[in-house]
Amino acid sequence: MSLISKFATVGGATLISRIFGFAREMMMASALGVSPVADAFNLAFRFPNLFRRFFAEGALNSAFVPLFSRALEQEGEAGARRFATEIFSTLTLVLFALTVPAIIFMPFLVRTIIAPGLNLCIDEAALPQALSCAERFDITVTFSRIMFPYLASMSLVAMIGGILNAYRRFFAAAAAPALLNLFLIAILAWCLWRQEDTRMLGFMMSWGVLAAGVAQFAMVAIAMRMAGFSLGLQRPRWTPGLKRLLVLAGPAALIGGITQINLFVGQAVASFKEGAVSILTYADRPYQLPLGMVGVAIGVVLLPELSRALKGGRIAEAQHTQNRSLEFALFLTLPAAVALFIMPEPIVRLIYERGAFGPDTTRAVAAVLGIYALGLPAFVLIRVFSPGYFAREDTRRPMFVTLASAIVNTVLSVALFFLLAERGIAMATTLAGWMNALLLFHGLYARGHWVVDRALLRRCAMLLVSSLIMGAVILFAMPYARAFAQTHGTLGQIGGLIALITLAMIAYFGAALVTGAADRAMVFRILKLRAGRRGA
């Protein structure tokens, strides 16, 4: 399977999950809007989700996979099973020891970490329909207690996913997150049909998150057994393998979760303004589609490929893999960033504007989404550059870069929030992301770990040109699409947005082929192969 095929496998599975995620957010926006219950659910879900990203896309993908791959190569399957069992047993014990106290002391965690803004009462006279501060605090604590064990399920899912990735079986671990969206869509549909009140809806969705975590664990466990690998539990022991994993995993978790760290910090600051948390969350969903599809796919596939090439002494192959991965990332990310920056409002209006989600909320979410779009390439590039360190078992340097980025994000979030509200938080996230990406690349380039070839420089320049051409086409066509939408209602919105996206794709891919931003020879080979298959 080629590198692009592996990216497509993981990216396709992630795309399916993100599409279901869109459906979930559309239903949630209609039912809850930017209400206090929506804020409480989003705040409660962000905390375990932050740790899920740490484990799934940080520590257990970046630290466990190279060590497991080494054990598999040097000691065979028996040695790899022994190493994995040691880690699985220790991880299970640690998760249990973490989950129980967290549930008990959740009020303290909500008050000090998750939502410090709930300590300050809002002007309830100006918002007569709002919940009191005490009620907002209580439902956030309740939702957080229900959902926190999701962390334990997803951490184990991440480890088993790392085993599957080492065996080059990428689909099951990439598709498992779709179960969460399916569970929540079913709950939302049931509650909307029954016309349940918003508090009951939030309560049932919280239990749905926990049930989805158990289902995801079952899914990847079955996939692991089908791959011929099994795990058991034993008394945890301090072994050299465990010690090495911990040395690598701590910094890797921090690095892999930088996007979620920035979003978590942003939501904690946003909790000082009612509705701001939900605005940030709704804006994050369209932004996460290209980030998840491209960034996660590259992060999952690139690390094992680089690890094998470097451990085999194939330096030229490693350099080629890095450069082509960067090309692939920018090929899909640059046009997405330009499109989200230029036309966030029609996208948000079509996805969300119904029920409790009104035009004013559309404008607020669109403004945040446009700022997030400017940082989209940076966060994808972080996923491209980080494996260059992890494959060499170097987590110290990127850890310091990530810490610096997180500090800058926190300072800017606080400073800009009081000037620009939720838009200031989005701007802080974007600036911190670019700082992180540039420093990671500089570290690799300065040490000779990344040699930029001429093909990469030429294609990157042409990708930027192609994206700007596409942006000009969108700007030209937007007034016509807006007029069509205003005269034809919802169908006009759908038709106008589809027409804009179609024109944008034609302009971008056409320009990419003409300028050479896309590999014309590869495209023609693919088209010729497909034509041959149809003829057969």
pLDDT digits (tens, 9 = 90+) for 59-101: 565 667 767 767 776 777 777 778 778 878 887 888 888 888 9
| pLDDT at 91 (0 to 100) | 79
- Report the candidate in 151, 156, 58, 23 with the shortest Cα–Cα distance to residue 99: 151
* pLDDT over 80 at 458, yes or no: yes
Question: Exposed/middle/buried for 227, CB within 10 Å: 0-12, 13-18, 19+?
Answer: middle
Q: What is the residue type of 232? A: G
Mean pLDDT of 494-498: 83
How far, in whole angstroms, is CA 153 from its chain's centroid? 18
Give the separation between CA 66 and CA 84, rounded to whole angstroms.
12
Q: Confidence class of residue 373 from pLDDT cuts 50, 70 and 90?
A: very high
| pLDDT at 289 (0 to 100) | 73
Q: Confidence class of residue 465 from pLDDT cuts 50, 70 and 90?
A: very high
pLDDT digits (tens, 9 = 90+) for 157-178: 877 877 777 676 767 777 777 8
pLDDT digits (tens, 9 = 90+) for 328-372: 888 888 998 999 999 998 888 888 887 777 888 889 999 999 999
**pTM given for the model:** 0.66
- Report the candidate in 152, 146, 148 with the shortest Cα–Cα distance to residue 91: 152
| pLDDT at 514 (0 to 100) | 86
Percent of all residues in the chain with a pLDDT value above 70, rounded to a whole number: 76
Q: Is the dihedral of CA 322, 323, 324, 329 positive or negative?
A: positive
| pLDDT at 507 (0 to 100) | 92
15 close to 282: Cβ distance less than 8 angstroms: no
N-term to C-term CA, the chain: 22
| pLDDT at 527 (0 to 100) | 44
> What is the average pLDDT value for the chain, to the nearest integer?
77
Give the separation between CA 106 and CA 113, rounded to whole angstroms.
10
Question: Exposed/middle/buried for 412, CB within 10 Å: 0-12, 13-18, 19+?
Answer: buried
pLDDT digits (tens, 9 = 90+) for 182-234: 898 999 888 878 777 778 888 899 999 999 989 988 888 888 888 777 777 77
Domain ranges of the chain: 3-121+128-452, 458-536
- How would DSSP label each residue in 419-471? HHTHHHHHHHHHHHHHHHHHHHHHHHHHTTS----HHHHHHHHHHHHHHHHHH
* Cα→Cα distances 290→18, 311, 312, 335, Å: 9, 31, 33, 10
* pLDDT over 60 at 39, yes or no: yes
pLDDT digits (tens, 9 = 90+) for 116-166: 766 654 444 434 345 566 777 888 888 989 988 888 888 788 778 777 776
Give the separation between CA 536 and CA 525, rounded to whole angstroms.
16
